[in-house]
Structure 1
Amino acid sequence: MSEAVSRGRGEYSLAGRVAVVCGGSSGIGAATVERLAKAGATVVVGYNAGKERADALIAKLPAGRHLALKIPMEDSAAINAAAAEVRERLGRADVLVNSAGVTRAVPHANLDALDDEIFDRILRTNVRGPFSAIRAFAPLLKASGDAIVVNISSLSAMTGLGSSIAYCASKAALDTMGMSLARVLGPEIRVIGVSPAAVATDFVPGRGREAVEKQAAATPLKIVAEADDVALAVMSAITHLRLTTGSVLVVDSGRHL
């Protein structure tokens, strides 16, 4: 029997593994950090401007060699430096979660308001940034031999509805990029997207909880998505979807229906 057929795949244990979470100081990223640490991983909390939040989060985690590292999605050199520091200080990386992102609320019909600066920043952060992180950490993930990348996407990639046209486009690009990377990074690395609808965080400027509740009320399940709900989906992708790669897991209470 060939290796591809006979190689066993059970639940993915996080004990002794290192997980890097870009955008890990708040929102979905922070909830994912807590879940990963609770499951036994050593977690690198990547942040941009949220060093104090990252340090406070680490202080709450189970004891371990957790690190807070500046991993700004718009700076490839800094991402490379972070990967080198992880290699030096922890010696490995088995999980990479790309949760960092940015948006601006711009009405879709107001084309002039979506200027080049806003558009370019959203694409740099939400598309090039995750690619740069995957590129930088790929050698460590490959060396693991059994690694995973999880990209936090959005239902906006499928519906074209969201905070701005540029944001929708960026998440569609992220999903397509995930398919391309899944082909070339296997068998050592799985690549899975997690695609929530509106989540009750402060990610979208000016969108309060009431707006999220209104969206949830229109779904079949009528459940407001919290950051931890998405983190649980991330954990399922990491620990249980062992034969899944190049796919996107929708977490939206059925809003796409």
Structure 2
Amino acid sequence: MAETKPGNLGAYDLKDRVAVITGGSSGIGAAIARRMAEAGAVVAIGYNAGAERAAALARELPGSGHIALQTPMEDSAALKRAAAEVEARLGRCDVLVNSAATTRAVPHADLEALDDALIDRVLVANVRGPFATIRAFAPLLKRSGDAVIVNISSLAAITGTGSSIIYGASKAALDTIGVSLARVLGPDGIRVVGISPSAVATDFVPGRSREAVEKQAATSPLRTVTEADDVALAVMAAVTQLRLTTGTVILVDGGKHL
């Protein structure tokens, strides 16, 4: 269990720490990987199908020891093997970022278009997968004694908007999981924080253009597009600075929720 002396509450130093980032080979995950590596962490870049992309990013990151790590959200046994691989190759895990997710744009009013197959795929990837990842890495995180789990959520969890009804629902479930796990893992020295962006300028949602993201951003108070690096910076703040923050969700939305 982590000590609670006041002198222990300074900035969290990432030098020689190990960060595992699911969905780390592109978009938000890749931006987080770059920020973590720049701060001195050794990064395991989780991927599903993007093995070459993850390996290329691992070679490009500053520092050394970075690895590509297969973390398929639908395969709990593979996630346990991934945790074992991190332990064998890197020896520890101090930061776990759940960035892997999936979606497909479905108009909310078109109930028939939201078919069972898509519902199941989104719930497995966005809910069961992150929980199974946390479950697999929990022993390593507990061993750290001062660890952080960050779940990449979405403003859709709060507003009920987003690419589809089931996507927003899946992220709301992830937020609730974060609250529960913050309560039970806190005594083991593990914080759990959600980062909830509005529409981000990546290719995450198939068919969504930069113009569409800019149009959404124009309706927010700050009128600024949320970039992948904006989310990465919020993750860095949650990990390294917000030492007493756990069981909550931080919005990165330019005030869109207002």
TM-score in terms of structure 2 length: 0.97
- The secondary structure found in structure 2 opposite 1:173 is helix
Measured after TM superposition, the shift of residue 62 of structure 1 is 1.3
Query: Is the contact made by 2:193 and 2:248 (CA closer than 8 Å) also made in structure 1?
Result: yes
Measured after TM superposition, the shift of residue 164 of structure 1 is 0.5
Question: What is the distance in 2 between the residues matched to 1:62 and 1:8?
Answer: 28
Aligned residue in 2 for 1:92: 92
Aligned residue in 1 for 2:217: 216
Query: Is the contact made by 2:40 and 2:63 (CA closer than 8 Å) also made in structure 1?
Result: no
Q: In structure 2, what residue type is equivalent to 1:166?
A: I
Query: Is the contact made by 2:86 and 2:92 (CA closer than 8 Å) also made in structure 1?
Result: yes
Measured after TM superposition, the shift of residue 63 of structure 1 is 3.0
Deviations 1:85-108 (A, max 9, x none): 101111100000000000011111
Is 1:163 aligned with 2:163? yes
Q: In structure 1, what residue type is equivalent to 2:119?
A: F
Is 1:252 aligned with 2:253? yes
User: Where does structure 2 lack aligned partners over 5 or more consecutive residues?
Assistant: none
Is 1:114 aligned with 2:114? yes
Is 1:196 aligned with 2:197? yes
Identity of aligned residues (%): 70
For residues 178-197 of structure 1, the aligned pairs below 5 Å read 178-187=178-187, 188-197=189-198
Deviations 1:26-81 (A, max 9, x none): 00000000000000000000000111111111121113111101101111011000
- The secondary structure found in structure 2 opposite 1:33 is helix
Deviations 1:189-223 (A, max 9, x none): 00000000000000001100000000111111111
- The secondary structure found in structure 1 opposite 2:8 is coil
- RMSD across aligned positions (CA): 0.9
Is 1:229 aligned with 2:230? yes
Measured after TM superposition, the shift of residue 158 of structure 1 is 0.2
Question: What is the distance in 1 between the residues matched to 2:197 and 2:253?
Answer: 5
Aligned residue in 2 for 1:240: 241
Measured after TM superposition, the shift of residue 4 of structure 1 is 4.1
Measured after TM superposition, the shift of residue 8 of structure 1 is 2.2
Deviations 1:153-186 (A, max 9, x none): 0000000001111001000000011000000001
Q: May I ask how many residue pairs the two structures share in their alignment?
A: 255
Aligned residue in 2 for 1:103: 103
Q: In structure 1, what residue type is equivalent to 2:15?
A: A
Q: In structure 1, what residue type is equivalent to 2:190?
A: I
Runs of at least 4 residues of structure 1 off by over 6 A? none
Question: What is the distance in 2 between the residues matched to 1:107 and 1:113?
Answer: 8
Question: What is the distance in 1 between the residues matched to 2:28 and 2:93?
Answer: 20
Measured after TM superposition, the shift of residue 7 of structure 1 is 6.1
35-44 or 51-60, which deviates more: 51-60
Question: What is the distance in 2 between the residues matched to 1:89 and 1:134?
Answer: 19
Question: What is the distance in 2 between the residues matched to 1:207 and 1:49?
Answer: 21
